[in-house]
Amino acid sequence: MSDYRMNILYTDPDYNYNNFHTEFRELYRTLSLRNDKISLQKMIREDNAFRNLDTDTFDLIARYTNQRVIYEEKEKIRTAEVQR
């Protein structure tokens, strides 16, 4: 039997992610909504915290949530040019 290191991410929509004080907070918040496309996109467009994220974090969020629109609109979101 091989010895593999395994890292598990548990995301819960009801968890208070405010305990994180880095960009991990927004990453985990989006992961908890990855199966709810509408709520996920609404949160990203309306929450000011996402306007301060660097492009690498947006790339992670887009990849982990499988949301191409986030990747394509990251500069618009960061500069608050997305229509609400």
In a domain, 71, yes or no: yes
Question: Which residue ranges of the chain lie beneath pLDDT 70?
Answer: 1-2, 6-9, 81-84
**Domain-located, residue 58:** yes
Per the structure, the complete domain to which residue 67 belongs is given by: 23-78
How many helices and strands, by DSSP H and E, does the chain display?
A: 5, 0
- On whether residue 72 sits in a domain, the answer given is yes
Helix (H) or strand (E) holding 38: helix 37-46
Domain count, the chain: 1
Cα–Cα distance for residue pair 60/15, rounded to 1 Å:
20
Residue 9 contacts by C-beta under 8 Å, 6 or more apart in sequence?
Answer: 28, 31
Identify the pLDDT of residue 11: 73
Does residue 17 form part of some domain? no
- Reading phi first (left if > 0) and then psi (alpha if -120 to 50, else beta), residue 3 is in beta
Cα 57 from Cα 27, distance rounded (Å): 7
Q: Is 73 contained in some domain?
A: yes
Q: What is the pLDDT of residue 81?
A: 57
Instruction: Note the pLDDT of residue 70.
Output: 81
Domain contains 5: no
Does the model's pTM come out above 0.75? no
Within a domain: 8: no
Q: Answer yes or no: is 1 within a domain.
A: no
